[in-house]
Amino acid sequence: MKKSLALFATIVLGASLLGCSEKSTWNGQVGQDPPSQNQNQNQTPNQNNQPPAQNNQGQQPTKPADDGVIRGWKTGSGQSLTDKKLRNDAYEITHIQRLNSGTGFQVKGKLRAFEAVGAVRLLGPDGKGIVQPDTGREEIVIMASEGAPAWGDFTAQVKYPDTLKGKVGTLEFYVHSAKDGSKQNILSVQIELE
C-alpha cells in the first residue's frame, strides 16, 4: 500500500511539474499571431487553448491599417481593440478606456499564465518606465480570473503624469518565469497618451 501511495505521489508531482518546464517564448509584436504547434490539426479554439474569439488556423496574420499606435481611446466608452490583433501566447488585449478621474486609462483583456499572474508597465517616449503614483513602482501586477491553461479576464489601471500628454508611450505586458523570474511572452503596444 505504501509503495502504491509513493508511486501515485510521484506521478502526480511529475505531472504537475510538466507545466513548469522551460518553454521557448515568443515576444509578440502588434499584428502578429504567435507561432502554433497545432497549425496542421483540425481543432476548435477551445481545444488548443486559444481565446474564444480567435481561430486563425490557415490564415496569414494581418497588420493594423495604421502605424500601430492606439489613438482615440479617451472618447466615450473607450475603444475596442479586438480588431488590432494585440495578442501573443499569454495576452490578448481587448479594450482600453480613460479613467473616471486623473490621467490614465484602464486596459481589459485575457491572460493565460501560471497562477493567473502577469504584469504590465508603461514606458515613456524615452523608453524609461513610468512610476505609478499608487504604488511607487513601474510594474503593475495583473491578476486574471483564471490561471493557465485557461484564459482568464483581467483589468489593469495605468496612470501617467500630465507632462506626457500628446506623446507616444509603450505598454509592455509580460509574465515572469517561474524558473528564474525573467520576463517572458512580452507584448508591446504603442499608445498615444491623450
Edge-to-edge strand list for the sheet holding 79-80: 79-80, 91-98, 104-111, 152-159
State the pLDDT at residue 158. 95
Structural domains in the chain? 24-38+48-193 (2.60.40)
> Quick check: pTM over 0.75?
no
**Residue of 73, 129, 126, 125 lying closest to 104 (CA atoms):** 73
Predicted pLDDT at 132: 94
Amino acid at 57: Q
Per-residue pLDDT tens listing for the chain (194 residues): 555 444 444 444 343 434 443 333 434 444 444 444 333 333 333 344 544 443 333 333 333 445 778 777 766 667 778 777 899 999 999 999 888 877 899 999 999 999 999 999 999 999 999 999 999 999 999 999 999 999 999 999 999 999 999 999 999 999 999 899 999 999 999 999 88
